[in-house]
Structure 1
Amino acid sequence: MHSPHQPSPPTAAEIDDEASDLPGAAVLNAPPAPFALDQAQALLLQHYGLQAQFSPLSGERDANFLVTPEHGPRAMLKISHPLESPLVADFQTQALRYLAQSDPSLPVQRLWPTLEGADAVLLPCPGGQTRVMRLFSYLEGLPMPQAPRSAAQRASVAQALARLDRALAGLQHPASTLALPWDIQYAHRARGLLRHVPDPARRALAARALDAFETQALPRLAGLRRQAIHNDFNIYNLLVDPAAPERLSGILDLGDMVHAPLVDDLAVAASYQIEVERDALGTIADFCAAYHTVLPLQSAELQVLPALIRARLAMVVAISGWRAARQPDNAPYLLRNNPISWARLQALDGLDPAHASALLHQACDLPLPSL
């Protein structure tokens, strides 16, 4: 018999139904689509004229390989998931081409053309699906989760994001308006997934964050400046210089790009930089100030930022909990970021919007809006 305080385990059908409002939920729960190493090697030789050693790289959806030629720099071969539309892959491709023109010094990957000069190769799959194969430069560096953290590093991350956002401004693509599951604009649609949080206090904590989003941010999003954004500037997508870990040396994974309010990009990045051991809001303020030195923020953006950050954290625990319920064998991996996300949600719980707005305006040296 179940405790009245604990929800009964949902059926598989109920689990799927709970995510019916979440954009693009099917892609999140698609099983991995591996690709045979010898077949990838043959395709590399056929389309790029390269013979190289191959080793698999981790990837949540795509099949990725580290390519080490006998001569020349290393590269990464990426073969997209069959469920990902070639249009979405092309958005990432065109973004890299755009960045190569708008800010060539940004530490992002570069595309290697095929022997025919194409950016990608379309691979037909059984069932009429298509996989997109592309070859990228390989970025060297130390993954940020393995590096010591510091205030200087956080400032470097914020300024790099601002440079990236500034360089992406003006990019247009048909895929940019497709709804994605990790788009903060749809944070409220993840509310039903909180059923998979077993602790009632934690469920309520995440629900309060979504309440704040719906009342403090959602009504204002339509009036904010919008553009193509990275949308996943988390520490697992960043590399640092091993000899100077405070310096960002690589930006990875444009797979969650979307056209959205610019401040959403800052909210995602800031949510991964909060130090719960000290003043959480102060960490956010410092991060904003560093971003603001490169790409000035607007008062309206600062007013919604805290609610957006809390919404992103609520999405992390809600979506990962739901995915773990559908993929129990992979639950430890899917829930790996939850402890720190819960701690950050708790640190921001009960945040006074007026106080937060005042502190962020002060950090960016902007006047408070008149009432």
Structure 2
Amino acid sequence: MAHDLDAAIRAALPEAAVLSAPPAPVQPDEAADLLRQHYGLTGQLQPLSGERDANFLLAPAGGGARCMLKLSHPDEDPLVADFQTQALLHLAATDPDLPVQRLLPDRQGAASVRIQDAAGRTRVARVFSYIEGLPMPQAPRSSAQRLNVARMLARLDMALAGLQHPAGARELPWDIQRADRVRPLLVHVTDPARRALAEAALDGFEQRAKPRLATLRRQPIHNDFNLYNLLVDPAATECVAGILDFGDMVQGPLVNDLAVAASYQIDESSDALASIAAFAAAYHAVSPLQAAETALLLDLVRARLSMVVAISGWRAAREPDNAPYLLRNNAVSWARLAACAALTPEQVQSAIHAACRLSTPEPLHA
């Protein structure tokens, strides 16, 4: 029965195969040899956690700024890694002051290099600058911090505009454009009330948002602006000091990036409507939103939250030893889904437009 279920899920969400691929660790001595051979770098290596890639922090011998070695998973298409590489190069040219990692070239001046690991598998190796800062989940939360996250995302999206890459059209598991594909994963949600909550969110996405996605502005987006991918200044925790992990980038509707970020910033214990509206208004102040985007934002936010609980629940069932890490956003995502359940797209659009001091347009009818 379990085998049949896995087969059905793979058929519905084939792009999720990379998420269920077994780990492909790299030994520190292998990483040290690679750094020495290709980058001329030596020093003290420390393994870092990573969902798919093998990562190491290097403290260079003789001092100097720390850097990070990243080795892509062998099951990941090198084209996906190149999308991330080109995005960082593009950002260095369009907004060099953005707090993102910078690529350190190898001895031949290349931004990345393909290597064969100890098992003979092809992987993409890159070395990044290391951004110092406090991970946002370890910092106090505040309304000022939330608004600064929205402003930073808007600035990032403006800097990404104009980037073109063939990997942008690839189907990736965390793409809201295909949120309805996670519905079979909800079989792992044993609580009927919770499952109904997620299914209702996916229903709203299918009925109202999905048919209109093709009409919205499109560009490359970060697609994973969650707290674990953001650093803050330890001395001023309302300030965003670093943006990490471009591994889930896609070419998609611009508003999807806002929806992803907003889904992690909802104050589930307070007024969800007010927090969504304030977050969207802060984004709008830097990068103006269009009426068609504000009309769909609620359904896109709820779709993202449904994806979080569906994909994390499925992966935790498959990888029980890694369940605490996989489910780290699960409980709060259910709370946020519940906080948004009674809201309507019209309410959210009106609240956003009021916060932006814009007139509310006529509602879009299904």
Task: Output aligned runs, 1:215-230, within 5 Å.
Answer: 215-230=207-222
Q: TM-score, normalised by structure 2?
A: 0.96
After the TM superposition, which of the residue ranges 128-137 and 204-213 deviates more from structure 2?
128-137
Q: 1: distance between equivalents of 2:146 and 2:42?
A: 40
Q: Which one-letter code corresponds to 1:21 in the other structure?
A: A
Task: Output aligned runs, 1:41-52, within 5 Å.
Answer: 41-52=32-43
Residue 153 of structure 1 pairs with residue 140 of structure 2? no
Aligned residues: 362
Q: Specify the alignment match of 1:351 in structure 2.
A: 343
Q: Which one-letter code corresponds to 1:79 in the other structure?
A: L
Q: Specify the alignment match of 1:332 in structure 2.
A: 324
Q: TM-score, normalised by structure 1?
A: 0.95
Q: Specify the alignment match of 2:275 in structure 1.
A: 283
Residue 242 of structure 1 pairs with residue 250 of structure 2? no
1:142 aligned residue (134, 149, 166): 134
Following superposition, the deviation at residue 352 of structure 1 comes to 2.0
Following superposition, the deviation at residue 332 of structure 1 comes to 2.3
Following superposition, the deviation at residue 23 of structure 1 comes to 4.6
2:315 aligned residue (318, 323, 326): 323
Following superposition, the deviation at residue 328 of structure 1 comes to 2.0
Following superposition, the deviation at residue 353 of structure 1 comes to 2.2
After the TM superposition, which of the residue ranges 250-259 and 207-216 deviates more from structure 2?
207-216
Q: Specify the alignment match of 1:35 in structure 2.
A: 26
Following superposition, the deviation at residue 124 of structure 1 comes to 2.6
Following superposition, the deviation at residue 62 of structure 1 comes to 0.3
Mapped contact 2:24–2:74 kept (Cα < 8 A): yes
Residue 296 of structure 1 pairs with residue 300 of structure 2? no
- Secondary structure in 2 aligned to 1:20? helix
- Give CA deviations for 1:285-327 in whole Å, capped at 9, x if unaligned: 0101111111000010000000000000000011111111211
- Give CA deviations for 1:3-48 in whole Å, capped at 9, x if unaligned: xxxxxxx513312422422251110111111001001101111111
Following superposition, the deviation at residue 121 of structure 1 comes to 1.4
Gaps of 5+ in 1: 1-9
- Give CA deviations for 1:149-203 in whole Å, capped at 9, x if unaligned: 0011011100000000000001000101001000000000111110000101100
Q: Specify the alignment match of 2:4 in structure 1.
A: 13
Q: Specify the alignment match of 1:91 in structure 2.
A: 83
Q: 1: distance between equivalents of 2:344 and 2:79?
A: 42
Q: Specify the alignment match of 1:65 in structure 2.
A: 56
Q: Percent identity?
A: 65
Mapped contact 1:18–1:192 kept (Cα < 8 A): yes
Q: Specify the alignment match of 2:108 in structure 1.
A: 116
Inter-CA distance 127–76: structure 2 relative to 1 (3 Å threshold): closer
Q: Specify the alignment match of 1:273 in structure 2.
A: 265
1:55 aligned residue (26, 32, 46): 46
Inter-CA distance 271–48: structure 2 relative to 1 (3 Å threshold): same
Q: Which one-letter code corresponds to 1:25 in the other structure?
A: A
Q: Specify the alignment match of 1:258 in structure 2.
A: 250
Q: Specify the alignment match of 2:200 in structure 1.
A: 208
2:72 aligned residue (76, 80, 97): 80
Inter-CA distance 12–334: structure 2 relative to 1 (3 Å threshold): farther
Following superposition, the deviation at residue 281 of structure 1 comes to 1.1
Gaps of 5+ in 2: none
- Secondary structure in 2 aligned to 1:67? strand
Following superposition, the deviation at residue 127 of structure 1 comes to 8.3
Q: 2: distance between equivalents of 1:128 and 1:171?
A: 33
* Superposition RMSD in Å: 1.3
Mapped contact 2:88–2:101 kept (Cα < 8 A): yes
Inter-CA distance 129–50: structure 2 relative to 1 (3 Å threshold): closer
Q: 2: distance between equivalents of 1:338 and 1:267?
A: 17
Following superposition, the deviation at residue 273 of structure 1 comes to 0.3
After the TM superposition, which of the residue ranges 120-129 and 222-231 deviates more from structure 2?
120-129
After the TM superposition, which of the residue ranges 60-69 and 12-21 deviates more from structure 2?
12-21
After the TM superposition, which of the residue ranges 34-43 and 230-239 deviates more from structure 2?
34-43
Mapped contact 1:226–1:262 kept (Cα < 8 A): yes
- Secondary structure in 2 aligned to 1:24? helix
2:298 aligned residue (301, 306, 330): 306
- Give CA deviations for 1:216-265 in whole Å, capped at 9, x if unaligned: 21111110000000000000000000000000000000000000000000
